[in-house]
Amino acid sequence: MVKIIGGPPWRVAIYFRWPESGRAYRERRLVPRDVTGRSAALRWAGARAADVLAHGEAGVAATTNVSTQPSAPPVPTLREFAPRWIEGHAKALRQKRCGIETKEGMLRRHIIPELGDLPLDRITTERVAKLCTSMARFSRKTLANVLATLAKLLRTAVDWDVLAVMPCKIRIPKAARTPPNFYELDTMRRLIDAAAQIDTRTHALVLLGLHGGLRRSELLGLEWEDVNIERRQISIRRAVISKYVDTPKSGHGRVLDLSAELTAALQKHRDASSTKKGRIFRQDSGRPALAQHLYTWMDAARDRAGVPKQKGVRLHVMRHSACSALAAMGAPMIAIQALAGHESPQTTARYMHLAPGVQAAAVALFDQVRGTNRGTP
């Protein structure tokens, strides 16, 4: 296999396995300056590979007219290279802590059990297919994320000269995009009323989800200093993922205007709280709440409201419900995007099919065209 890896001046990678032993031969070379053009560089690399093969594995080192690189260090296994990649790529580039943990989890649960003991240059397309087969019970989105992580790891190995070329082809499937789950307006009202009957903490939690559209990590990171009751605003400055405090998912904060009902709920919760500083949501012991506590409080409100439980529908459904309700009530897309903190308007557009009269107004244009073609009196 030969490949252009840079230029001009052209640099090529040559990679193959010796027919006799199956051992890998790899080298990167600078093409002579009199070889111009990409196609000519590839032909030169092909001739170079043929020349090396013609001398044979045993004769290459002793042959003077075939220059070779010093013997390369053994290619590490995926299990050996993975920590180096996490440290030198994900952490070195200051990726978000939640993203790093996600990569570590995919490596630990899926990639290393299937491919961990293989040297990186022996990860073939067929072995990647076996990885896909082993993940048959997982969603297409999960599979796509795992394959994207594996592909990035191998491309980094090429960039770091651990590999001469990519050892396999990785085709990442497109994840099916399904409409998000959300509660209808009457269900949202029942949840809010039920939460108010439990305590001020649950009431504030449900309203921050259904009126504010906050993510779980943002709810956990919200502090009293972020709340301005007089201006009816909250500032989303941080997100708590596991034991780490980070920036919100979009990479920057945002300021949200509050509904009168949410403002009143936050005021009541602050008045009832033993401390007026630090995290808004705390356990009964006074320690900051964890994710499982938010789930427990949300489940209590749902049980009291008589809202049936659905698989995979827990806390994040409140965020979807906030965006869906605003779209159904005719709020402009840019306002919903600002509230939710969506980085891309394409994410917000998933909710806009609920906007009233949008499709009817579009279809009515055909009637206008028909009337224009017939003429008007």
Element (H, E) at 236: strand 233-236
Q: How confident is the model at residue 260 (pLDDT cuts 50, 70, 90)?
A: very high
pLDDT (0 to 100) of residue 114: 95
pLDDT (0 to 100) of residue 374: 53
Query: CA-based angle 239:245:250, to the nearest 5?
Result: 40
Give pTM, 2 decimals. 0.68
Residue 46, pLDDT > 50, answer: yes
User: How far apart, in whole angstroms, are the C-alpha atoms of residue 130 and residue 160?
Assistant: 27
Q: Which of 6-20, 105-119, 206-220 is predicted least confidently?
A: 6-20
pLDDT (0 to 100) of residue 66: 44
Q: How confident is the model at residue 71 (pLDDT cuts 50, 70, 90)?
A: very low
pLDDT 10s digits, 265-316: 999 999 999 888 899 999 999 999 999 999 999 999 999 999 988 876 788 9
pLDDT (0 to 100) of residue 373: 54
User: How far apart, in whole angstroms, are the C-alpha atoms of residue 28 and residue 155?
Assistant: 16
Cβ atoms within 10 Å, residue 67: 11
The rounded mean pLDDT for the chain is 87
Residue ranges and CATH numbers for the domains of the chain are 2-60 (no CATH), 78-159 (1.10.150), 185-354 (1.10.443.10)
pLDDT (0 to 100) of residue 207: 96
Q: How confident is the model at residue 23 (pLDDT cuts 50, 70, 90)?
A: confident
